[in-house]
Amino acid sequence: MSLDADDIKNIAKLARLKIDDADVADYATNLSNILDLVEQMNSVDTEGVVPMSHPLEVIQRLRDDAVTESNQRDDFQSVAPATQDGLYLVPKVIE
Amino acid sequence: MNYEAVIGLEIHVQLATKSKIFSGASTAYGAEPNTQACAVDVALPGVLPVLNKEAVHMATKFGLAIDAEVAHRSVFARKNYFYPDLPKGYQISQFELPIVGKGHIDIELEDGETKRIGVTRAHLEEDAGKSLHEDFAGMTGIDLNRAGTPLLEVVSEPDMRSAAEAVAYMKKLHSLVRYLEICDGNMQEGSFRCDANVSVRPRGQQEFGTRAEIKNINSFRFVERAINHEIERQIDLIEDGGEVVQETRLYDANKDETRSMRSKEEANDYRYFPDPDLLPVVIDDKYLDEVRGELPELPDQKKQRYMDEFDLSAYDAGVLTGSRELADYFETVAAKTGDAKLSANWVTGELAARLNKEEVEITDSKVSAEEYAGLISRIKDNTISGKIAKEVFDAMWNGEGSADEVIESKGLKQITDTGAIEAMVDEVIANNPEQFEQLKGGKDKLMGFFVGQVMKASKGKANPAQVNELMRKKLNS
């Protein structure tokens, strides 16, 4: 499996990464190599093996449904770049 | 050409937990912005999600109630997308292994038939925050109070064929989650939200047409209108030689139209993968048995019982079990009056009409179940007629007291004294001698006229059965 320049640009866009056009070819080669390795692993017969979703053989512990957090808005917002009326302000996003 | 619509719904049910799905912040509605968004919800570095036990419990209840397989092992996945309403850069959801698998919900169609709608799956996920686009000097304001609120997303099979069926399904699901007490069902506050997948195909064709997804339709009325509108739009498009494209559309209730929001291929590549911060959720049979034991009587079971036990019609039983609150109200009235059938008539009749007219929920009824039972008991023991009962109910609704108080203060007690009624009958006959002769001569229609005149003379207080009986006696004498 091979990624071309357009794939790389699309992946970068989805991940909100700014990349140099000059580096696109290198990324394409390196990421394609990773996918090739995955492809190689795909050829292993895994019939009857339950897919692993976590490397540890443990299960999720559950928390009681209780409110344990208090309002720390002022602390959190003291490090936010912009706030107003208790809201975090971010560059305009439009659907 | 004749077309058929194919509809599937995705409904987001906000689970009524006290705290969020992965943090200990409160889920209470309406707080000041960002005062219920803790370090986990705002995604500060180094925080870890810890799953809420009650969210799992509620999802399990739902799964068992729709006869679905509840997964012994389910897995949380990251759905990756960048949007400031979820600052982690992904939403924790479930993808390949959801907690609830295939189940079904039965709906009643208008012709009284029952139709089974398949539920593909239901999965747990976190809600996003809110973006406010107006008035921040060209910036967007973000409130993360809602971020991390537990949702159960219920995905149906594309089994519905009309907007009316979609609404029936949505109402049934709404009623079910309230019976189960896993959701407050408040649609204005967004606790129950619906996305609809709609496509059309020529009738008889097997394969589905291309579908459009209509987002965020938040009332039963709008769902019906939005779907009907979308069906028409697609048919017009095809008839004009065009093609439906797969896209997300937004319903605008003010303009009663849907418009394109974004097309699917460019926006959605969510790159799901298992969330390494969360371990698999394991549920054993013992737990399932415990939860099964907690399930309340569900709407379909309750409806069947009303039909068997109280001899109610399918329609009345359906109306009464439409919400748990209404069913509880009815059962209180029926127990107090000892007459389920009469109680059912008055709850589905006069009371339901009034609630509807004044747009009041049964829980906010101005006449309590106990008070209403008091009224119905007076009909049952012949103290008042049904007609007078409506007048008494009006007064009760307006806060003029209990049924007995109103009957007493307004002097509405039914006249059952035969002598008094007979005097009125005689008077009406004396005033209408011609008609009385015609009645005697066989013009039976006039019976109604005479009874009506006597009832009028008594201001509705005479017992109609007695009036009839006395009239007959006069005719035969």
**pLDDT tens for residues B21-49?**
999 999 999 999 999 999 999 999 999 99
CB contact under 8 A, B133 and A92: yes
User: Is any Cβ of chain A less than 8 angstroms from the Cβ of B234?
Assistant: no
Overall average pLDDT of the B300-304 stretch: 94
Same domain, B463 and B385: no
Same domain, B274 and B310: no
Q: Which residues 31-50 of B have a C-beta within 8 angstroms of A?
A: 32-39, 42, 44, 50
> What are the pLDDT digits (tens) for B133-159?
877 888 999 999 999 999 999 999 999
Q: Which residues 82-121 of B have a C-beta within 8 angstroms of A?
A: 82-84, 89, 96-97
Residue with the two structure tokens 């999965």: B123
- Residue among B26, B136, B262 minimizing CB distance to A89: B136
Give the range of the structural domain holding residue B460, as residue numbers without chain letter: 418-476
Helices A5-14 and A24-42, interaxial angle, to 10°? 90
User: Is any Cβ of chain A less than 8 angstroms from the Cβ of B51?
Assistant: yes
Residue B274 C-alpha, separation from nearest chain A C-alpha, in angstroms: 6
User: Is any Cβ of chain A less than 8 angstroms from the Cβ of B416?
Assistant: no
Overall average pLDDT of the B115-135 stretch: 94
Same domain, B209 and B329: no
Query: Could you tell me the pTM of the whole model?
Result: 0.83
Give pLDDT, residue B268.
Answer: 64
Chain A hits for B281, CB-CB cut-off 8 Å, are 59-60
> What are the pLDDT digits (tens) for B70-83?
999 999 999 998 88
User: Is any Cβ of chain A less than 8 angstroms from the Cβ of B282?
Assistant: yes
ipTM score assigned to the predicted complex? 0.84
Give pLDDT, residue B111.
Answer: 83
Same domain, B283 and B428: no
Asked if pLDDT for residue B262 goes beyond 70, the answer is: no
3-class DSSP state of B465: helix
DSSP code string of B361-382: -GGG-SS-HHHHHHHHHHHHTT
Overall average pLDDT of the B164-189 stretch: 95
Same domain, B387 and B465: no
Shortest CA distance to B172 belongs to which of B311, B306, B318, B60? B318
Closest chain B residue to A58 measured between Cα atoms?
B279
Asked if pLDDT for residue B282 goes beyond 60, the answer is: yes
Shortest CA distance to B395 belongs to which of B377, B382, B408, B383? B408
Residue A54: pLDDT band with limits 50, 70, 90? confident
Q: What is the DSSP letter of A22?
A: G
Q: Which residues pair with B77 in a beta bridge?
A: B93, B274
Return the minimum-mean-pLDDT range out of B147-161, B177-191, B233-247, B453-467.
B453-467
Sign of the dihedral defined by the CA atoms of residues A62, A65, A66, A71, in that order = positive
For residues A4 and A29, what is the distance between their CA atoms, to the nearest angstrom?
Answer: 9
Residue A26 C-alpha, separation from nearest chain B C-alpha, in angstroms: 22
CB contact under 8 A, B33 and A62: no
Overall average pLDDT of the B395-400 stretch: 93
The CATH number for B466's domain is 1.10.10.410
Asked if pLDDT for residue B389 goes beyond 80, the answer is: yes
List, in order, residues 6 or more apart from B266 with CB less than 8 Å away. none
Of the three residues B361, B383, B410, the one that is the final residue of a domain is B410
For residues B187 and B364, what is the distance between their CA atoms, to the nearest angstrom?
Answer: 17
Q: What is the CA radius of gyration of chain A?
A: 22
Same domain, B44 and B90: yes
Residue B476: pLDDT band with limits 50, 70, 90? confident
Same domain, B381 and B449: no
Of the three residues B265, B289, B313, the one that is the final residue of a domain is B289
Cα atoms found within 13 Å of the Cα of residue B435, Cβ hemisphere only: 14
Using CA atoms, how far residue B234 sits from B46, B204, B209, B248, in Å, is: 48, 17, 10, 14
Find out whether B388 and B414 touch, Cβ atoms under 8 Å.
Answer: yes
Asked if pLDDT for residue A69 goes beyond 90, the answer is: yes
User: Is any Cβ of chain B less than 8 angstroms from the Cβ of A17?
Assistant: no
Same domain, B103 and B234: yes
User: Is any Cβ of chain B less than 8 angstroms from the Cβ of A78?
Assistant: no
List, in order, residues 6 or more apart from B224 with CB less than 8 Å away. B163, B164, B166, B167
Give pLDDT, residue B67.
Answer: 97
Same domain, B305 and B281: no
Asked if pLDDT for residue B264 goes beyond 60, the answer is: no
CB contact under 8 A, B261 and A56: no
Best B279, B284, B287 member to test A by mutation, with max A CBs in 10 Å, is: B279
Chain B hits for A72, CB-CB cut-off 8 Å, are 38-39
Same domain, B318 and B455: no
Shortest CA distance to B11 belongs to which of B227, B148, B196? B196
Of the three residues B289, B312, B346, the one that is the final residue of a domain is B289
Mean pLDDT of the residues in chain B: 92
Same domain, B177 and B263: yes
A50 vs B94, higher pLDDT? B94
For residues B102 and B288, what is the distance between their CA atoms, to the nearest angstrom?
Answer: 16
Asked if pLDDT for residue B266 goes beyond 60, the answer is: no
Give pLDDT, residue A94.
Answer: 66
Size of interface A-B (CB pairs under 8 A): 126
Give pLDDT, residue B263.
Answer: 56
Domains in chain B, number:
3
Same domain, B285 and B306: no
